[in-house]
Structure 1
Amino acid sequence: MTVLVLDPRWPDMIPIGVRIRGTVAFTSEVPVSVRWAIENTADGESWLLTTDPSDAEAAARIAGGEEVIEVASLSDPVLAATRTMRVARRRGEWESSMTHESLLPFLEEEAGEFAEAVRRGDGAELKKELSDLFLQVLFHSEIAAGFDFPDVAQAFVDKMRSRAPYLFDGSTGVVGIEEQDRLWAEGKARERG
């Protein structure tokens, strides 16, 4: 018996190396489109497909020692970071009390510490300070009511598509600074409307 834990963001992305043969059950949140794509067969083992390992049936099977396969995307450190921030905001009294405004002194402090690490040229310290800035981005994204971290990431991609179109047009080679400056200014002007 095997429990296959799918990524709730992309539940239809089943690892190519996994051969699902046998009786297949699904926890209730698994989309119908996934259910239709999986064939039940008489031969093979029993499978449970879920996007929620805390689901009662999934948790019972996992606790019972069934083999667990998680899709690789669940090991994504960005996903782990966003989940950690979401849980911290929900469970931590201090985190849940924070606002964009109350976090500003921390953001300013972390930006200053990052600048100091750059000036010192200390790679390990630079990584640590970047993680502190990343915490601030995650925190503000979690506080915001109208968007979340994936929306911030998409806004970055959209900005780069507008201001640095050569990154997306399939071209190769170095783009000169003058051309970059021109394209950046044009993109910024278009965004302002």
Structure 2
Amino acid sequence: MEANAPQFKLILGSSSTARKKILGDMGYEFTTMSADIDEKAIRKEKPEDLVMALAEAKAEAIIPRVSIGESEGDAEPTLLITCDQVVVYEGVIREKPSSEAEARQFMKDYANGHAATVSSVLVTNLTTGSRRGEWDKVEIYFHDIPDQVIDKLIEEGIVLYAAGGLIIEHPLVLPYIKEVVGSTDSVMGLPKALTERLIKEVL
């Protein structure tokens, strides 16, 4: 991509700090809007279907709130990126922990084991209505995670807001990551290469 500004407006339909950082690191300027949807109302058997359905529901919630300039015909298109992520452990979908006890159990499960993140990215061209979405899966293998590390993480509290109670880029967690099969930005909630490709596809 050339150094000059891309010829479109970009809205990130997420209030996630990690996603904002990744999109910023990719060189984009964007505004953010968050979808106020009841995620629990959307249920799917397969994690891949669930994250795609949630990304679509978020897009549907945000689109009516966006005003698109109707003026000159060559106005730059507006693109909306919506995403979702779940953690899958032994075939079970994990969302944000409902309590400290659940967060603790989640982390104990990962110790010496592995989990996967399934992340969706949906890019909607609000000017043309064109929409492309895909999901990305990353496998994460862990060493043993000491109890005192789990205690510290819970005390600090960020893990309570993360899908599956999992933040691999956290300085306390990093030393216990054995291997990540896939991209770290995907685990953090926004796979760069996939996002880049979907943006190109809807333009």
- The verdict on a shared fold, with TM-score over 0.5 as the criterion, is no
Higher relative strand content:
2
Higher relative helix content:
1
What TM-score results when the alignment is normalised by the length of structure 2? 0.24
The higher-RCO structure (CA 8 Å, 6+ apart) is 2
Quick check: which has more Rg, 1 or 2?
A: 1
